[in-house]
Amino acid sequence: MSAEPRVLAFAREWSPEDLPRADLGAIRAALRGLHAELVVVADSGVWSFHPEHDGPFDYSDRLAGDVAIAALLYAVRGGDDALFVIDERGTIRFARREPRVGMHLAEAVAAAAEAVY
């Protein structure tokens, strides 16, 4: 049984309230193209979004206090933001490191979808 592909975003200052409503449709379309869910790791916790679910982002505090450690596992240093596409085998297929990915989350997810497929 294989795992589902994921788009993993480290967006430290992000929260779902910051996301323009129009961007949600673009993110959903890009995720459908990737057959992936989105996981956003922020200072406030972990947010996930599956493109087939009609609801909002799901919140989890499963990494509360460990965001820095999680970021180091993906070589995201110095408080930077980054976005990765991880396939069902756990292989990183796309990586984009840039400051404030959360401010441009829809663009980053779309760029990842275009680059991977």
pLDDT in tens, 26-51: 999 999 999 999 999 888 788 899 98
CB atoms within 10 A of CB 74: 16
The percentage of the chain sitting over the pLDDT mark of 70, rounded to a whole number, equals 93
The domain limits of the chain are 6-116
CB atoms within 10 A of CB 100: 13
CA distances from 69 to 43, 46, 86, 90, 101 (A): 12, 14, 18, 19, 18
Query: Could you tell me if 92 and 86 are in contact, meaning their C-beta atoms sit under 8 angstroms apart?
Result: yes
pLDDT bucket at 116, cuts 50 / 70 / 90:
confident
Q: Which CATH architecture has domain 6-116?
A: 3-Layer(aba) Sandwich (3.40)
pLDDT in tens, 81-101: 999 999 999 999 999 888 788
Query: Could you tell me if 38 and 23 are in contact, meaning their C-beta atoms sit under 8 angstroms apart?
Result: no
